[in-house]
Amino acid sequence: MAKTLHAIFDAIANVQNEQELKEALMDTIGEHFGVQDWGIYLLDDQLSTEIEVPEIPAVCLEGNPVGRYVVERHAPAHEELILSPGDWKKFCTRHEHVMTGPIICDGRLVGTLNFARDPGGLPFNGNDLADLSALCIHLSAKLATLRAKPKILSPAASCPLTPRELEIAELVAQGLTNGEIAAKLWITQNSVKQALKRMFRKLGVSARSEMVAKLHGINHSAVNLNN
């Protein structure tokens, strides 16, 4: 089992973007933890509430004790760590055992790594929790590195877009389609579409190329003002 875990660490270290990060875990992580279902979910708290947020299993959020524990403490947990035997069934009837851990970037929770075992499976134990904790540390560090890469479009004082919207604009400037942007940021295509509509409205533009040109103009003006 330890050999598999180190293979996962190596895979995380060698990815070049967030999409590769998910793909790198696909073949090994389920085997290591002996689970039927698992997933990585990134929480996009910078998107406006007017955007349709993709559905995320309740274990990832604050809708149950396991989710609340992770959100409040930024620490991994499984249902038997915080609930009496059998109480988890009050919150979920599909999976008998669940375990989730935090993905942290810049001191805030940006996502969770989640595992579930179907009825009849063994409960998660202390070793599983220790492995998840180590895995979350590697994921958090890698995600922070990926998101720290220099951007073509940097925030300017006069720019009305949020950091997340600028991230979408950066990918638009690179020529990515809505589907490719959605895959890279792990959000739905509809979220990208609605974000772009809001960004166009904020900037007073009607096309992707016009948006990119205007953002470059904003940043160019900011540079001149600072010189």
Question: What pLDDT digit, counting tens, does each position of 63-78 carry?
Answer: 788 888 988 899 999 9
What is the per-residue pLDDT for 157?
54
Between 108 and 102, where is the model more confident? 102
**Statement: residue 198 has pLDDT above 50:** yes
Burial bucket for residue 131 (CB in 10 Å: 0-12, 13-18, 19+): buried
CATH architecture of the domain with residue range 163-226: Orthogonal Bundle (1.10)
For residues 175-188, give the mean pLDDT.
86
Average pLDDT value for residue range 15-38: 80
pLDDT at 55: 39
Note the residue count of the chain.
227
Where do the domains of the chain lie?
2-147, 163-226
User: What is the reported pLDDT for 158?
Assistant: 66
Do 168 and 195 meet the contact criterion of CB atoms below 8 Å apart? yes
* pLDDT at residue 20 greater than cutoff 50: yes
Q: Could you tell me which CATH class the domain 2-147 is placed in?
A: alpha beta
- Give me the pLDDT at residue 45, please: 40
- H or E element that contains 24: helix 18-25
Total-model pTM: 0.61
